[in-house]
Each structure stands twice: as C-alpha cells, then as structure tokens.
C-alpha cells in the first residue's frame, strides 16, 4: 500500500507510487510471451490445482456476470466462461496490454466468443457502475497493485448485493522446514529459471520479493473487512504458499 510520503515497495526496493505502475508494466511486458511456461515450471504445475480450487470457491453459476481482474493469459476467465454459459458474461481485464493480448489470443484459439470480452483497466479505479457484477476475481495480481486497499474498495463497489470477491494470491507459509525449502526455491531457483526460459532473471527476483511484501492471510482478511466485505474467509493451499480469500457484499 502507499503511504503518506508517496512511496511504496517494488519488491524490496522503495520507489515512488507514481513509478511502481511503470516498473510492474515493464516486468509483465518482458515475461508475457513466456508467462504460461514459467507458471508451470516455477509451481511444478501445481498452479493448475490452485486455480481449480479458486473456481470451486467462486460459486459462479450460469447467467452470471464476472469480472476477472489481472486476468493474464486467462486461466480463470476460460473456466468462468464455461460456467456462466451463453446467458452470462465474463469480462477479462488486465492493466498490462501485452498480457491482455496474450489472453485474448488464447481465448480466440479456444473458440470462446460471445460470452467473453476484454478491457485494459486499473483495479484501483474500476470504470463500472456500482452493483455491476456477481463475482470479481483477481488471481496472482493483487500483490502488484500499488494501493491494495483502494483496489478492494473499488471491487466492493462494483459488486452486486450477494456478490463475492475472490482473491487467489501467494501468501505466507507456516514456519518450518517447508518454508526454508520454499525460500531457497524462490530466491535461488526462480531467478535462474527466469533467466534461462524468459531471458529475464530480474523479473522473477521481483516476483519472489513481491510475494514477501504482500500482506499475510489475516492482514488481507482485515483489509477486505475494512472495504465492507462480510463473511470473509480464506483457504490455505500448499502449506500457505498460496491462499484463496473470499468475501461477500451483503
């Protein structure tokens, strides 16, 4: 989150709030074409199970309106498109044009037309009327947002009464041998994989650092409650490496 001296964190580095968005843009411009390959490698394929759990927790049904923020290459959007059917609609969005283009190309290759659209937007200032969506999701994107509380407030406003927000994000694993192994993987292996596969080790160094700077499970739950969400809960996956947070607008 931003603070009173107009600075925030880009990984472990302290930067101006005005500069962070451009720095994050550069990261995803660089990795967009290798994003899916790197997801499989750096999670050993487990990200597919994480996303499956998120979809199950979403409660999305036929005919509903879904906004998928930070949609990337569309893993969640694709599944939502199937769930809402011809009478529903999924709006696939990302702040980064290169990532959104990758996602749109994938959706067209899958033949997903008619119930899915695309827009480039900032999660901190959603350009929609209040009470527009039944579900708003953001998968592995909230940690890159400059002002996370503002984004949560904006998500709450755009949801319909009875709607829910779903946040899938890296989180804080419990202390112990697994955490030590995870830290070694994050800081020693991921940047090397990024350099080898995506020709960009620095972006995956940022990834590891940004995860550590992201609010822990209970802090994020409190932030959702501050935004107005009720019945907030979360599910830890892979020993807390990832958490799925859910909250409702009642």
User: What DSSP assignment string belongs to 89-118?
Assistant: EEEEEES-HHHHHHHHHHHHHTT--SSEEE
Q: What is residue 1's predicted lDDT score, i.e. its pLDDT?
A: 46
The position carrying tokens 């739950």 is 221
Separation CA 148–CA 227 (nearest Å)? 10
Burial class (CB in 10 A: 0-12, 13-18, 19+), 176: exposed
Mean pLDDT of 94-109: 96
Separation CA 73–CA 100 (nearest Å)? 7
Of the ranges 17-31, 99-113, 118-132, 211-225, which one carries the lowest mean pLDDT score? 17-31
Residues of the chain with pLDDT > 70: what percent?
98
What pTM does this model have?
0.93
- Which of these, 240, 221, 218, lies nearest to 231 by C-alpha position? 221
Q: What is residue 4's predicted lDDT score, i.e. its pLDDT?
A: 52
Q: What is residue 2's predicted lDDT score, i.e. its pLDDT?
A: 42
Q: Does domain 27-174+205-248 have CATH number 3.40.50.150?
A: yes
- Which of these, 119, 169, 114, lies nearest to 145 by C-alpha position? 169
Residue 32: how many other CB atoms lie within 10 Å: 21
Task: Inform me whether the pLDDT recorded for 161 exceeds 90.
Answer: yes
Q: Where are the domains of the chain?
A: 27-174+205-248
Separation CA 72–CA 28 (nearest Å)? 9
Burial class (CB in 10 A: 0-12, 13-18, 19+), 167: buried
What ranges in the chain are assigned the alpha helix state H? 17-31, 35-43, 47-58, 75-84, 97-109, 148-158, 177-184, 190-197, 201-213, 217-227
Residues of the chain with pLDDT > 90: what percent?
89
């Amino acid at each position: 989150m931003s603070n009173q001296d107009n600075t925030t964190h880009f990984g472990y580095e302290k930067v101006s709030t005005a500069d962070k968005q451009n720095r994050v843009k550069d990261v995803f411009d660089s990795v967009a074409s290798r994003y899916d390959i790197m997801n499989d490698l750096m999670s050993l394929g487990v990200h597919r199970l994480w996303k499956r759990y998120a979809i199950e927790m979403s409660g999305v049904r036929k005919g509903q309106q879904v906004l998928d923020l930070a949609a990337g290459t569309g893993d969640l959007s694709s599944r939502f498109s199937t769930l809402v059917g011809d009478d529903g609609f999924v709006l696939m969005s990302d702040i980064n044009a290169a990532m959104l283009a990758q996602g749109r190309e994938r959706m067209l290759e899958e033949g997903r037309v008619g119930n899915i659209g695309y827009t480039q937007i900032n999660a901190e200032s959603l350009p929609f009327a209040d009470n527009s969506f039944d579900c708003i999701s953001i998968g592995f994107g909230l940690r890159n947002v400059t002002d996370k509380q503002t984004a949560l407030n904006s998500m709450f406003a755009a949801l319909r009464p009875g709607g829910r927000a779903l946040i899938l994000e890296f989180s804080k694993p419990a202390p112990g041998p697994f955490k030590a192994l995870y830290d070694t993987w994050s800081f020693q292996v991921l940047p090397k994989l990024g350099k080898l596969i995506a020709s960009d080790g620095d972006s995956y160094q940022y990834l590891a650092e940004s995860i550590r700077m992201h609010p822990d499970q209970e802090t994020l739950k409190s932030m959702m409650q501050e935004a107005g969400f009720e019945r907030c809960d979360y599910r830890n996956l892979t020993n807390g490496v990832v958490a799925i947070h859910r909250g409702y607008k009642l």
